Amino acid sequence: MRSNTLLIPFLLFAPLLWGKSHAPHVTQEKVGQQYYLKACSHCHGSGKLGGNMATVLEWKGLLAHHAKELVELHEDENGTQEIITYLKSDRFAKEHDHLLKFLQEFANDSESIPTCY
């Protein structure tokens, strides 16, 4: 009988405990994640891999001034004309803020890198 008394409170609160432990690992920038997956993931993999290529401040610099530095980095690579076109587009200008937040979330010096989607 005593074991049932301890089991009932555990069963009532267990979902709350499980939810809290998983919540910090989910990306906070779902919109930016979708932009990244559409534009960048075919070469750079998941956000975990692509975002980890730079620090939070480096991503800010790479995407500054219409991503001028990021365009220059891609100009020396084969098969990157599609991403260069994207980075110079009005679409990128509209998606910039969300994409930046997503990349910074996965940056190699981020304080809370999500571990699963």
Q: What's this model's pTM, rounded to 2 decimal places? A: 0.72
pLDDT tier at 110, thresholds 50, 70, 90: confident
Tokens of 70: 């990021």
* Residue 114 CB neighbours (<10 A): 19
Do the beta carbons of residue 107 and residue 52 sit within 8 Å?
A: yes
Average pLDDT value over all residues in the chain: 81
User: For the chain, how big is the Rg over CA atoms in Å?
Assistant: 20
pLDDT tier at 9, thresholds 50, 70, 90: low
Do the beta carbons of residue 102 and residue 32 sit within 8 Å?
A: yes
